[in-house]
Amino acid sequence: MYNFNVVINIIFLKELILKYKTVIKFIITFILVYTVLTFSYKLYLQYGSSETYYPDYMTNLVAKQSKELIESLGYQAEIVPHPNEASMKLIINKKYVARVIEGCNSVSVIILFVSFIIAFTGKFKTTFFYLLAGSVLIYIANLVRVVILSIGLYHYPWRKDILHTVIFPAIIYGMVCLLWLFWVNRFSYREKK
């Protein structure tokens, strides 16, 4: 009787795998791409950081570009390396308002975006250009987010929690979700099936 139940379970499992093959392929592809990209990024942070760009190139770049955008809005801004942690201090009109850390550089969000798009692949050329354009849009949205958050913290420091933990993550992740939905509905192979 035991062998019969095992055979039935194997047949049932095989039917489930065949029925949900597309979903399983998506999940496995997503996890593999996300793991490889995240591991590569962690290696870059650990071994690829240079002395020229503190704490790392992308975080330094986001801090510098945020400073320039803030100055273009009429504020006096400066960035200085944080003495006690791997971050850049963002100062507006001589008031320390925020620190730009590795998590503020949008690379982790871009890795999440790329992993999903590759898991829901389309034609190579379309996928490549969508990944490129989407990554640039996410990066720009993140820069705008850092600038608005910093100016918001300058004017409304008592709103720090809602600005940093609710509103601005909603902006960046909302944009990623919209890009994903647009991709799935317009370009992915799975949408056509």
Over residues 71-107, the pLDDT tens digits come to 999 999 999 998 888 889 999 999 999 999 988 999 9
Q: Could you tell me what percent of the chain has a pLDDT over 90? A: 58
> 6-20, 25-39, 146-160, 164-178 — which is least confidently predicted?
6-20
Answer whether residue 111 shows pLDDT above 70. yes
d(CA 143, CA 149): 10
pLDDT value of position 189: 65
pLDDT value of position 92: 96
Cα–Cα separations (whole angstroms), residue 38 to 107, 151, 183: 9, 31, 22
Mean pLDDT of 135-162: 92
Residue 49 CB coordination number (10 Å): 18
